[in-house]
Structure 1
């Protein structure tokens, strides 16, 4: 099983629902994810990396009640991991250059995609349902106008108009900085 957002979030939700086996699987799946995260950032030895992984797993377990079920799991996970890494840097008094620090603190595999997905969902959530679903179908899911029209039970021209109006509204919102 691949450790992606949907799988990890599903296991977390199952674990929060009382499924101890799902929680155990989640923690096991997080080990290689966190090792990779820290190897790319911590510049420490294997012992330091293993310590960071274990501290993060303990924090995930002990703070699981703070997880917001409506948000992305990996964003929550990597926030904990970043705090653990900063604590580790402080503890060992290891200096890290400020230049490029944002690269050190970002998760290459999950965070950008997760944050982008959250941003897109937030933007689409502000649109009328038909516009949002047609933008999802044609721009995100890769359906043709004809396929989206058939799936939505509407005409092709209606799909085109909905996408056009929705994108126009999104552009206005983004350019205007409206929230």
Structure 2
């Protein structure tokens, strides 16, 4: 590990002194480490890894004059990588998408919080009109198909789909407003 750091720092110093071959070698070696770094942090977003690696390599190149020759190269490079990752995540937005199929977590049986979660879920759903609330409860919470929920609530399947969709959108907007 110390040998690798010494090797990378030596390449960096030679690159700073004008050795183009050393500079290319440094960027080539750092590329693999950056790819691994971003892959570990971008699970589910693998398509963004190569873009992040490229952005980081460009930043290392552009900011090379700020490198303190007395400090470790890896720490400096990983600081740049970390800031590029943070910038990327900020650009993606803060909204977290939770699949509706995972609603069972909200209603997990045998938990201490079960009553509190059910109460909170009831409060959130109470903002919806009664029919829309019943449709969402049937489809999203009780596991009925849209056709079954429509029959139970006296509407067409198409109307049920639209109602569930609009209700979920309204709930998402309401919850997002309260999270800020």
Q: TM-score, normalised by structure 2?
A: 0.50
Highest Rg: 1 or 2?
Answer: 2
Which protein has greater RCO, CA pairs closer than 8 Å, 6+ apart? Answer: 1
Q: TM-score, normalised by structure 1?
A: 0.50
